[in-house]
Amino acid sequence: MELDNYVKQIQAIRQNFLKLTPVVEKCDQILATISAYQQRQLPNVELTELELSTDLIFDNLIGYPQLMDVSPQFENLRQVLIENFGIWHVCNQLWINDLQAFCGAKAHNLEIMAGNAVISANLKNTIATDNLDWEGQDNDRPCPWTTVEKLDANAAVQKYYSHVDNIIMAWAPDSGDVDWQVLQFLRQNHFRGNLIVVGERNGATNSAEFWQNAQLQLIDQLNRHHQPFDFINDQVWLVK
């Protein structure tokens, strides 16, 4: 979906529902997120669930019959961000602050399958790596926010695992099993750092082998400002 058209749709919704505060708030979150990404910055707002509640819709349906059509337009946001910015994993500055505190200011980090490296660009001492084989999938070309070393996940982990404290894997694809290969390598080589994974368990991200074999721990600190906002229930895990 073309970005300008989507922004105009959200602005029109905002104008049409000025008296419905929950709708206005969701519009403002969406517009702030898009505006920040346009400037290659992280939004300072956290997206909350974009789908309107059933109670809100039915309580206001007589006065606003078009309210039924609003949620689907809101929930186009992730696809708009994918197509226009090459961003699958949607994060904000509040979450990055939590991630930085968890990793430590002096820690050395590696991001694998970094995509456009939004996390790496905003996290101190982080090496971004990606083989860029996603090029052309919903997004024409990579536009990384920082330098990305062209390495696939296995090569990157083998090269850097002994030199970093944290390895970050956000929104790994659900095709192939490279994530499971990475986890096996880290286990075999007794990696003492943290493997931090952002994904939807048994859902839109990562391989079935990975979810079946990973030892998962939800990290409260890293999920405080990382809440699902659409139909994908991605969370932040510490994986062993």
Q: Which tens digit of pLDDT belongs to each residue from 19-28?
A: 999 999 999 9
Q: Give 127's strand partners.
A: 110
- Note the pLDDT of residue 97: 98
- Note the pLDDT of residue 133: 79
Q: Give 128's strand partners.
A: 111, 148
Q: Which CATH architecture has domain 93-239?
A: 3-Layer(aba) Sandwich (3.40)
Q: What is the pLDDT of residues 58-89, one digit of tens each?
A: 999 999 999 999 999 999 999 999 999 999 99
Chain position carrying tokens 């493997």: 195
Predicted confidence band of residue 126 (pLDDT cuts 50, 70, 90): very high
State the Cα–Cα distance between residues 66 and 45, nearest whole angstrom: 27
Give residue limits of the domains in the chain. 3-85, 93-239
